[in-house]
Structure 1
Amino acid sequence: MAKFNVLRRPKTHEGGVGVKRDVKRELFLLAVANMVGEHTFYETAGERDNRFAQLVRSATVADPEWTARLLGWLRGSANMRSASIVGAAEFAHARTEPGMTRQVVNSVLQRADEPGEFLSYWLAMYGRVIPKPVKRGIGDAVCRLYDERALLKWDSEARGVRMGDVLNLTHPKPAEGWQGALFTHALDRRYGNVAEIPTGLPMVNAREELLAWPVERRRELFAADATPTLKRAGMTWESVAGWLQGPLTAEVWAALIPTMGYMALLRNLRNFDRAGVSDEVAATVARKLADPEQVARSRQLPMRFLSAFRAAPSLRWAWALEQALNASLATVPSLPGRTLVLVDRSGSMFYSTVSAKSDLTRADAAALFGTAIALRAAKADLVQFGTTASPVKLRAGESVLPVVRDRFDSLGGTDTIGALKQFYRRHDRVVIVTDEQHSGSTLPTSVVPGGVPVYTWNLAGYEFGHTEGRFTFGGLSDAAFGMVPLLEAGEREAWPF
């Protein structure tokens, strides 16, 4: 009897039969679900981050063009910030041939604090020797991103790598004269050498004028239209809260709202209600939240709207948030025929939130995506599963958010095979939204006839999966849902970039 020369199938973390993915597929699924530095049910943050870094390095050596496209897409369409920054740093470290590094680094730096984030990671991992292509890529991003508003918002003593440090380490050439003055001032701020603010920086000067107001007089600003003054000084709602050294009243919010960004509005709905902003002011917020163009520009992950819906005390935001969520799910297709949608509600899906800044779990994300797919399909059976499985009833024209809030349960283990055996009834396709960590003795997809498409939407990116010869997507946005109609039409391109 053979002791060593036997076939051993990999196992999921739950002990079920699994599938080992190739480097590209494993990297893709981990990248679109990896918030960096955060634990999941089956992996510590260190294990997960080390696996991600190694996969990026391996993919870079094997296919640098593919890896470069992945990282640019990851920061852009998928809106995964930390993973793309770490990925670009590991790409640069693994890249031994000339070319591409500068462009990759520049492509992932999309917000003015990110050059400092990139350098913080690089210095911690690889020290102060920074290759020229990395410096140039960061420099390109600095010239594109650094302006007065960015300096006032992102440069603070709380950051380990400040804007002045970025300038010192990368030596970018200013794009215009005002940017030269900005760079000089950023360096002066970093080293405590500010004697006076250059006249070419009107916003910074306006901020200094406001900071000079006596604290006891600062609320007088809101007796009239304060919006232009706040805008000239680049005052965010956070900076106004610190400046006033007290609560933000309805009058203060009314002055701030016209210049607030989309994300700032979304996260402050509860604060608007607590302060008692008027229905007229609330209506202007709701219109902006529901505007599809604003939603697209904001690049919010769909879960943000579920989080805001749960947090907002009043119902005056509900319809705007539903419209915004629908706009953020623009690539979820309307599937023809009959579709079975399985939503994983096992314990591992509830273990951790999708990020440290979120109160939503992967179970929430699975319910949201599964419900959206089912409501848009021509005819769908929506099922939640864990140790047991049960249907989730839907009515035509229902809103996604209340369904997700009210009709899903926590269901223990991960019997994917049992759910498929119970509910698959000659459907045209199956969609499973899960972390793939099932407990069965065979692959779940073996239950479904070979000619029926099975699409797994993976929300965790673990090493071993539950599908073989079928389709696996992943992530916390809708960025690849549009692949489903293409695959069914015979297009075999596996990547959404």
Structure 2
Amino acid sequence: MSRATSIFNPSIPRPTTLNREGYPAFERPLEEQYLQVLLTNTLGNTYYATSDQLLQEAGQVHTAMLEKDPEFAAKALVFARNEGFMRLQPVFGLAALAGVRPDLFARVFDRVILIPSDLQDFFTVLKSIGRGQGGRAVKRAAARWLNNRLSEYWAVKYNGRGRGYSLGDVVRTVHPAPAGAKQSALFAYLAGRDCDASLLPQVAAFEALKRAKTPEERARLIGEGRLPHEAVTGVGGLDKECWRALVLQLPAFALLRNLNTLERHGVLDEYREYISARLTDREALCKAKILPFRFLKAFREVKQTWLKDVLREAVEATFGNLPEIPGKTAVFLDKSGSMAGEYLLIGGVFAVALYKKTKGNSIFWTFNTRVEEQDISIHDSILSQADKFMAFGGTDVAAPVRRLAERKVFVDNVILITDEQQNAGDPFYKVLAEYRRKVNGRVKVFVIDVAPYRSALVSPADPLTFYVYGWSDTVLHYISFAVQGYGGMLDIVNKTAI
């Protein structure tokens, strides 16, 4: 190809925007941008943006999507909450949907608001976006949810302050008509009114815990009342006896997050069999909607060898039903400085899991401005191998594809796990075009974007490039589906029933 042809070639789409580093980039369709916001934007500070900036940008995307296609927005909210395991952005989107399409809002409310903290945050968001208490449709949906879903355990667990709205605030706001005597007593308790305590044994145990004087009495009340650890820790500091009482009733996610605490209090070994079974129960882990990087965080915090083995087994089980990826695949993991923290934890786990699903018929390289060829085993655990990656340096996303082209290495699939913020080297889309011209014109590219920045490496006009957004293990299934011709993430969301 001559220099003039390479410069003016109309078959290569030209960039339409700049990324956060000022590098040429593309805008993906609004629907993809919306999914990216829902599935990756936790509204915390990131390398390139503050939480305030991300909040403002998220609000703009929610507004634009609701103006264009509120039905797709509703489907995406359900998808993000249930398949993407994300919480705050779907709740944000639901609050916005309530003011635009109350009918769609009512249809998806119960599939986005899954736990009381969702409901509490929902009312906080409503107030922050200037919608007050939301109106009649909101109050009807929330009252129905409280009657159908709110348990005594949840009332004790989630009624603490700190979310803007306590459950008591929500009850006083929506005035639910209780469905029975127990629900009536529960609403009265939350609203601070007199209630029939005989109908609420867990509440009674919690109130007694506040008055307990000895560790033995506290431990007894925790066990008999099956009290949630969040409520117990709010009453006062916990000693060994209290943690012993709590172990058997911690939900899977709470157990995972408190392993370090249990280890510190010396109560792990006597519950070894129970903890091992709990954390390797595939069905329970799926219901708990635990993001895989949480296991790597726990893995780094605990010391006992048997417990590390349990966490290794848990992650292998999490990815155990991931379909195999046919064809020769190149897995490229971005380890540049902007990936530091949770992004690299997520990316590392995803990358090793994907490599193992190729049965070794793949290439595994990490990159910043340089490419490093990694020796990954299909037999060693995902966690042990993902634990070794460290983030540093600039970002040349094109570097690994350039090496493929230079060596004329034929692959069927390229999988990039990245935040897409290239700041060095030739633009990715140019190097990809060169690889397709010289080596494999039909290579499929899958970009797993773990960040909320919205600019993209590849034009949406490229039919062989697929974008996948998110932090949950389910995102990897869409790569397998797309490899086999079943469509990408947008197709799956469009098929979501609401």
Q: Give, as a single letter, the amino acid of the residue that structure 2 aligns with 1:306.
A: L
Distance 1:435 1:332, change over 3 A: farther
In the alignment, residue 22 of structure 1 is paired with which amino acid? P
Instruction: Give 1:484 deviation, angstroms.
Output: 2.3
Report whether the alignment pairs 1:391 with 2:386: no
Instruction: Pick closer, same or farther for the CA change 1:423–1:331 going to 2, 3 Å.
Output: farther
Q: Following the alignment from structure 1 to structure 2, what is the Cα–Cα distance between the partners of residues 44 and 221?
A: 42
**Aligned positions of 1:82-161 closer than 5 A:** 82-95=88-101, 99-128=103-132, 130-161=134-165
Aligned twin of 2:170: 166
Q: For 1:236 and 1:488, how far apart are their aligned partners in 2? A: 44
SS of the residue corresponding to residue 467 of structure 2 reads strand
* Secondary structure of the structure 2 residue equivalent to 1:58: helix
- Where 1:394 maps in the other structure, the secondary structure is coil
Mapped pair 1:489 → 2:484: yes
Q: 3-state DSSP class of the match of 2:248?
A: helix
For residues 240 and 106 of structure 1, what CA distance do their matches in structure 2 show?
28
In structure 1, which of residues 443, 448, 454 is the aligned counterpart of residue 435 of structure 2?
448
Q: Which of 335, 343, 346 does residue 325 from structure 2 map onto?
A: 335
Q: How many residues are aligned here?
A: 464
1:72 aligns with 2:78: yes
After superposition, the Cα gap between the structure-2 partners of 1:308 and 1:41, relative to the gap in structure 1 and judged at 3 Å, is: same
> CA offset at residue 259 of structure 1?
1.4
3-state secondary structure, aligned to 1:19: strand
Shift in CA distance, 331/135, structure 1 to aligned 2, threshold 3 Å: farther
Gaps of 5+ in 2: 1-13, 494-498
Aligned to 2:402: 421
Within 2, Cα distance between the matches of 1:174 and 1:34?
36
Structure 1: how far apart are the matches of 2:270 and 2:15?
A: 65
Quick one: distance in 1 between partners of 2:257 and 2:154? 20
- 1:395 and 1:158, CA in 2 relative to 1: closer, same or farther beyond 3 A? closer
CA distance in structure 2 between the partners assigned to 1:486 and 1:345 by the alignment: 26
- After TM superposition, give the deviation of residue 204 of structure 1 in Å: 1.4
* Match of residue 336, structure 2, among 343, 346, 351: 346
Task: Quote the offset at 1:258 in angstroms.
Answer: 1.4
Deviation at 1:296, TM superposition (A): 1.3
Conserved in 2, the CA contact under 8 Å of 1:388 and 1:411?
no
The share of aligned pairs that are identical, in percent, is 26
Which residue of 409, 414, 420 maps to 1:430?
414
Shift of 1:104: 2.7
Offset from partner CA, 1:277-297 (integer Å, 9 cap, x none): 263412211121111122112
Q: Note the C-alpha offset of 1:80.
A: 0.5
Q: Deviations over 1:68-105 (max 9, x none)?
A: 1110111112110111110111122333xx52122233
Per the alignment, residue 382 of structure 1 pairs with 364
| Displacement after TM superposition at 1:158 (Å) | 4.2
Alignment of structure 1 residues 252-267 onto 2, 5 Å: 252-267=242-257
Q: CA 1:370 to 1:320, structure 2 compared with 1: closer, same or farther past 3 Å?
A: same
Secondary structure of the equivalent of 2:329? strand
Instruction: Give the secondary-structure state (helix, strand or coil) at the position aligned to 1:393.
Output: coil
Contact 1:112 1:150 in 2 (8 A): yes
Counterpart of 1:186? Answer: 190
Displacement, 1:310? 0.4
CA distance in 2, matches of 1:398, 1:116: 42
The Cα offsets for residues 110-160 of structure 1, whole Å up to 9 and x where unpaired, read as: 111222211111112214252222222222222233222112111124453
Distance 1:83 1:100 in 2: 17
**Which one is further off, 63-72 or 229-238?**
229-238
Task: Output the CA distance in 2 between the equivalents of 1:494 and 1:262.
Answer: 28
1:263-342 mapped onto 2 (5 Å cutoff): 263-277=253-267, 279-330=269-320, 332-342=322-332
CA distance in 2, matches of 1:456, 1:13: 18
Match of residue 211 from structure 1: 210
**Counterpart AA for 1:386:** N
Using structure 1 for the length normalisation, give the TM-score: 0.87
Checking the alignment, whether the CA contact within 8 Å between 2:467 and 2:488 is kept in structure 1 is: no
SS for the counterpart of 1:473 is strand
Shift of 1:387: 1.0
Mapped contact 1:30–1:52 kept (Cα < 8 A):
yes
Q: Residues 429 and 452 of structure 1 are in contact (CA less than 8 Å); yes or no, is this contact kept in structure 2? A: yes
Q: Give the Cα separation in 1 of the matches to 2:297 and 2:242.
A: 24
* 2:20 alignment partner in structure 1: 13
Structure 1 pair 454–247 and aligned structure 2 pair: CA distance change class (3 A): same
Aligned equivalents of 2:119, 2:390: Cα separation in 1: 42
Q: 1:182 to 1:221 in 2, by over 3 A?
A: closer
Q: Which moved more, 1:199-208 or 1:447-456?
A: 199-208
Structure-2 change in CA distance of 1:152 and 1:369 (3 Å): same
Cα deviation for residue 493 of structure 1 reads 5.0
One of 35, 43, 46 as aligned partner of 1:40: 46
Work out the CA distance in 1 between the residues paired with 2:38 and 2:82: 13
Equivalent pair of 1:337/1:428 in contact (CA under 8 Å): yes
AA partner of residue 390 (structure 2): D
Q: Which amino acid aligns with 2:216?
A: R
Report if the CA contact (8 A) 1:57-1:94 is conserved. Answer: no
Distance 1:69 1:331, change over 3 A: farther
Contact persistence 1:35–1:83 (CA under 8 A)? yes
Q: What RMSD over aligned residues (CA atoms) do the two structures have, in Å?
A: 2.2
8 Å CA contact 1:345–1:385 kept in 2: the answer is yes
Alpha-carbon distance between aligned partners in 2 of 1:417 and 1:477, rounded to the nearest angstrom? 26
Relative to the length of structure 2, the TM-score reads 0.87
Preserved contact between residue 66 and residue 97 of structure 2 (Cα < 8 Å): yes
Structure 1: segments with no counterpart, 5+ residues: 1-6, 351-359
> Counterpart of 1:199 in structure 2: which amino acid?
S
Shift of 1:344: 0.4
